Structure 1
Amino acid sequence: MTLLILVVDDEPDVETLFKQQFRRDLRDGRFTMEFALSGSEALALIEQATNVTLILILSDINMPGMSGLDLLPRARAARPDVPVIMITAYGDAETKRRAIESGAEALLTKPIDFIALRAEIETRIGRAA
């Protein structure tokens, strides 16, 4: 069983950052990560994720075109079983309220607390086992 985490962010360096933070897990095959640079690309990857177990979607909020808040209900409709955690540089109360009301599991602020994110991923791996 392949466990997949989808990371959606329009900044290409996010992929490098995540691969560095989770290099041991990725190398050991505990889970895989796919990266989308836009909401529409993320939706396509969600639809294609049929031979893997999608356990978590991490999405930036501020992206050109389809924002993370626009992506959120569409991702939840496509995969209601998969939690979505929003990521933003602007962790104000209104943004958090909108994300949670739209179905986000949580809101992380940049710079990302990778210790907290790792704990969340471990929880998802445990539930998928």
Structure 2
Amino acid sequence: MSVLILVVDDEPDIEPLFRQQFRRDLRAGRFVMEFALSGEAALQLIERAEVASLILILSDINMPPGMSGLELLPRAKAARPDVPVIMITAYGDAETKRKALENGAEALLDKPIDFLVLRGVIEAKLGWAA
């Protein structure tokens, strides 16, 4: 069974950026990444993911015009309470962070994303961290 990381962001250029940053891991089959451009699309992918394969959801907070990341968060947690959700935002103010954490986010990462920090989170989740 493949290990799945779901990335939710309304910006289409996020997918090639993530694929570039994690190209060696993806080629080696350490995990796979799926991408959703909206909260609605993310919920469909979450529902289809096999029970053990989805290990992490990374979601942008601001995704107009549809469901925001903060609206997606409780729905994703209700569907998969076992899967941690990390929120990503360009607007990392205290109120946004408070709302995200209160609604079940494991962490909040600021944009631009520090991929070294994100890699550490993924490796720890997979049990690969030293």
Q: Determine if the TM-score, normalized by the shorter chain, exceeds 0.5.
A: yes
Matched ranges for 1:9-88 at <5 A: 9-50=9-50, 53-64=53-64, 65-88=66-89
C-alpha separation between the residues in 1 aligned to 2:17 and 2:52? 23
C-alpha separation between the residues in 2 aligned to 1:67 and 1:120? 23
Which 4+ runs in 1 deviate beyond 2 A?
none
C-alpha separation between the residues in 2 aligned to 1:70 and 1:30? 30
Q: Percent identity?
A: 77
Q: Which amino acid aligns with 2:12?
A: P
Residue 109 (structure 1) aligns with: 110
C-alpha separation between the residues in 2 aligned to 1:77 and 1:25? 29
Deviation at 1:51, TM superposition (A): 6.9
Q: Secondary structure at the match of 2:127?
A: helix
Q: Secondary structure at the match of 1:63?
A: coil
Deviation at 1:11, TM superposition (A): 0.3
1:96 equivalent in alignment to 2:108:
no
TM-score (norm 1): 0.96
Query: Where does the alignment leave 5 or more consecutive residues of structure 1 unmatched?
Result: none
Q: Which amino acid aligns with 2:36?
A: A
Query: Where does the alignment leave 5 or more consecutive residues of structure 2 unmatched?
Result: none
Q: Which amino acid aligns with 1:40?
A: E
- 1:48-76 Cα shifts (integer Å, max 9, x gaps): 10276101000000002100000000000
Which is further off, 104-113 or 47-56? 47-56
TM-score (norm 2): 0.95
Deviation at 1:124, TM superposition (A): 1.0
Q: Which amino acid aligns with 2:104?
A: G
C-alpha separation between the residues in 2 aligned to 1:105 and 1:56? 10
Residue 121 (structure 1) aligns with: 122
